[in-house]
Structure 1
Amino acid sequence: MTWVTGANGSPYGVTNLPYGVFRTDGREPRIGVRIADQVFDLAAAEAADLVLAGGALSRATLNEFMALGRPQWTAVRQRVTELLTDEAHRAAVQPLLVPLAEVEMLLPFEVADYVDFYSSEHHASNVGQIFRPGQPPLLPNWKHLPIGYHGRAGTVVVSGTPVVRPRGQRATADGPVTGPSVRLDIEAEVGFVVGVPSPLGRPVGVDDFADHVFGVVLVNDWSARDIQAWEYQPLGPFLGKSFATSVAAWVTPLEALGAAFVPAPEQDPPVVDYLRDVPHLGLDLRLTVEWNGERVSEPPFATMYWTPAQQLAHLTVNGASLRTGDLYASGTVSGPERTQVGSFLELTWGGTEPVTVGTQSRTFLADGDTVTIGATAPGPDGTTIALGEVTGTIRPAR
Structure 2
Amino acid sequence: MHAWPASEVPALPGEGRDLRIHDTATGGLVTLDPGPVARIYVCGITPYDATHMGHAATYNAFDLVQRVWLDTKRQVHYVQNVTDVDDPLLERAQRDDVDWVELAEQETALFREDMTALRMLPPRHYIGAVEAIPGIVPLVERLRDLGAAYELDGDVYFSVESDPHFGEVSRLDAAAMRLLSAERGGDPDRPGKKNPLDPMLWMAARDGEPSWDGGSLGRGRPGWHIECVAIALDHLGMGFEVQGGGSDLAFPHHEMGASHAQVLTGEFPMAKAYVHAGMVALDGEKMSKSKGNLVFVSRLRRDGVDPAAIRLALLAHHYRSDWEWTDRVLQEAGERLDRWRAAVSRPDGPSADGLVEEIRDALADDLNAPAALAAVDRWVALQQEHGGEDTGAPGLASRAVDALLGVAL
Which TM-score applies when normalising by structure 2? 0.26
User: Which protein has the larger Cα radius of gyration, Structure 1 or Structure 2?
Assistant: 2
Which TM-score applies when normalising by structure 1? 0.27
Higher helix residue share: 2
